[in-house]
Amino acid sequence: MNNGKISVQQMAILVLLVVIGDSILIAPSLVAHFAKEDAWISGLLGVVLGTLLAGLIYFLSRLHPHATLVQFNRTLLGKWMGGIMSSLFLLYFLLNAAAMTREIGDFITTQIMPETPLRAIHLLLVILLMWALYSGIETIARTAELLFPWFVIFFVVLLICLAPKIEIDRLLPIMGHGFMPILQGSIYVIVFPYAELTVFLMLFPLVTRNKHTNRDFILATALGGIAITAVILICILVLGPYITAHQTYPTYALAKKISIGGFLERVEAFLAIIWIISIFFKTILYAYAFLTGFSQLFHLRNERILLMPSAFLFFGLAYAISPNIIYYDYFLTNYWPLWDFTYALVIPLVLMIVHLFRRKKRAHSV
């Protein structure tokens, strides 16, 4: 499962899915909490700033186009420092994968099956996760490619079916609370979609590049952000800022509002497929990054032996990561952005500086 190759088109789809990821479910609430009616402006601002961040991550990977994060950590920082840095990233990947699993579990148990134990949902998810990782990255990419049209169809259906419920007045007043809340809100559009693109540092070397790679990457990140902004906008337009901010999963509440002609209604359980697709692919990629990163760090010849142990790890962590949903949401709102920025902004910048420093030194010595 190591030597797979993914096409640029598949990479773009994966990027899009990671950008949309869990944000489609939780971002509207977080953003509307701060920016109220202007949440959509936060969204747009987030897309612009976030795309820059994505560009930074992409740029970092281009410095060593044929090496994954773990591999170029070693060349840049040496065996021990690089190892420590890589371990940090592995921890990040592991925790993110577990948190994402937990997020799906929380969503299902809150909205769809309240009496089902979280662990049963997690078990099913982790089994599926292992099934996917066992099939290899090529299969994962192909599956994403196959599911993507459905994702788009359902997404568009969601937006179109809500069109009759839109009340433009809900957007007013524009910038009624000044600029700070908008900026504050936009953090969540930068962090969860874009900062978490860090996972692609493990994937870029697998991409069979063509002349459109750079363009497609940026296009995918921007499109993903626009999709999130569209969801935020429609949440505000249909639910209003108050309900958007106070619902745990406003997008699901949105889907509940669909009612067309008295027969096309009560379809939210089907539309849940949208965010389960995007969150699950994000989870898979994080789990994949953890597995390959681990095997590259310790030079394992066969990474499949890691499958079973990591399955237990994901399963246990997803449950242990938070005692209840309040803790999880609190953590997600207040601390997770910093945690994400550390790995998406601070460390990459450090790595880049080291890279420049080394190059200069090498230039001097020659």
Partner 1 sequence: MKRLAFILLFVLLIALFTTGCWNRRELNTLAIQLGTGIDKIGDQYKLSVQVVDPGEVAAAKSSSTERSPVVMYKATAPSLFEAYRTMTVNSPRKIYGSHIRVLIIGESLARDGIDKVLDLFSRDAENRTDYYIMIARGTTAESVLKILTPLEKIPANKLFASLDTSSKAWAPTTAFTLDKLISQMVTEGQHPVLTGVIIKGEPKLGETQTNIKQIEPSATLTLSDLAVFKGPRLIGWLNRDESKGYNIIMDNIRSTASNIACPNGGSITLELLRSKTKVKGKVISGEPTIHVQVKTEANIAEVNCKLDIQDPMTIKYLENQAMQKTIDLMKKSVKTAQTRYNSDIFGFGQAIYRSDPKYWSTASKHWEDLFSQLQVKYKVEFFIRRTGTTGNSFVQDIKG
Partner 2 sequence: MGSGSAQHRNHINLFREALGQSPDLIIREMKISNTVPAAILYMDGLVDVQSLHDFVIKPLMSVKFKDLNVVLPSKQNLLELLVEEVLGAGEMEISGNSEELIKHLLSGNAILLLEEKRDCIRIKVAGLEERNVTEPLTQSVVRGPMEAFTENSQTNIALIRRKIKDPNLWLESSSIGNVTQTKVSILYISSIASDKVLNEVRARLKKINIDGILESGYIEEFIQDKTYTPFPTVYNSERPDTIAAGLLEGRVAIVVDGTPFVLLVPGLFIHFFQSSEDYAQRSDISSLIRLMRYLAFCIALFAPSLYIAITTFHQEMLPTSLLINLASQREGVPFPAFIEALLMEVTYEILREAGVRMPRTVGQAVSIVGTLVIGQAAVQAGIISAVMVIIVSITAISSYVMPSGSMSISVRMLRFIFMGLAASFGIFGILIGIFGLIFHLCNLSSFGIPYMSPLAPFIAQDQKDTLFRLPWPRLLTRPLLVNKKNIKRQKQVK
Whole-angstrom Cα distance, residue 45 to residue 51?
Answer: 10
Q: Is 135 in the site for partner 2 (CB under 8 A)?
A: yes
Within positions 228 to 287, which residues make up the interface with partner 2, using CB under 8 A?
A: 262-263, 265-267, 269-270, 272-273, 276, 280
Nearer to partner 1, 98 or 121 (CB): 121
Which C-beta is closer to partner 2: that of 75 or that of 208?
Answer: 208
Minimum distance between the CB of residue 280 and partner 2, rounded to whole angstroms? 7
Gap between the Cα atoms of 193 and 15, Å rounded: 10
4 binds partner 2 (CB under 8 A): no
Question: Cβ 356 to partner 2, closest distance in Å?
Answer: 38
- Of 17-25, 126-134, 241-249, 314-322, the segment contacting partner 2 by CB under 8 A is 126-134
* Nearer to partner 1 (CB atom), residue 48 or residue 128: 128
Contact (CB, 8 A) for 126 and 314 = yes
CA gap 315, 111 in Å, rounded: 21
Give the integer Cα–Cα distance in Å for 185 and 29: 10
Helices (H), the chain: 8-20, 23-35, 39-63, 69-107, 118-135, 137-162, 180-194, 213-246, 250-256, 268-297, 307-320, 325-334, 336-341, 347-365
Q: Which does 276 bind (CB under 5 to 8 A by kind): partner 1, partner 2, none?
A: partner 2
Q: Of these partners, partner 2, partner 1, none, which one is at the site of residue 48 (CB under 5 to 8 Å by kind)?
A: none
Tokens 């030194």 correspond to what residue?
Answer: 361
Which residue, 115 or 169, is less far from partner 2 as judged by CB?
115
19 in Cβ contact with 197 (< 8 Å)? yes
Whether the Cβ atoms of residue 88 and residue 363 lie closer than 8 Å to each other: no
Angstrom distances, CA of residue 321 to CA of 47, 69, 154, 332: 29, 25, 31, 12
Q: Cα–Cα distance between 43 and 263 in angstroms, integer?
A: 33
Neighbouring C-alpha atoms within 13 Å toward the C-beta of 37: 12
Minimum distance of partner 2 from residue 288's CB (angstroms): 13
* 91/113 with CB nearer partner 2: 113
Residue closer to partner 1 by CB (options 42, 61) is 42
Our finding on whether 311 is near partner 2 (CB under 8 A) is no
Candidates 48, 91, 112, 163: give the one binding partner 2 (CB under 8 A): 112
Asked if residue 132 binds partner 2 (CB under 8 A), the reply is yes
Q: Which of 242, 335 has the CB closer to partner 1? A: 242
Site for partner 2 in 57-96 (CB under 8 A): none
CB of 106 closer than 8 Å to CB of 95: no
Binder of residue 10, out of partner 1, partner 2, none (CB less than 5 to 8 A by kind) = partner 2
- Per CB under 8 A, residues contacting partner 2 are 7, 9-10, 108, 112-113, 116, 120-121, 124-125, 128, 131-132, 135-136, 139-140, 142-143, 145-147, 262-263, 265-267, 269-270, 272-273, 276, 280
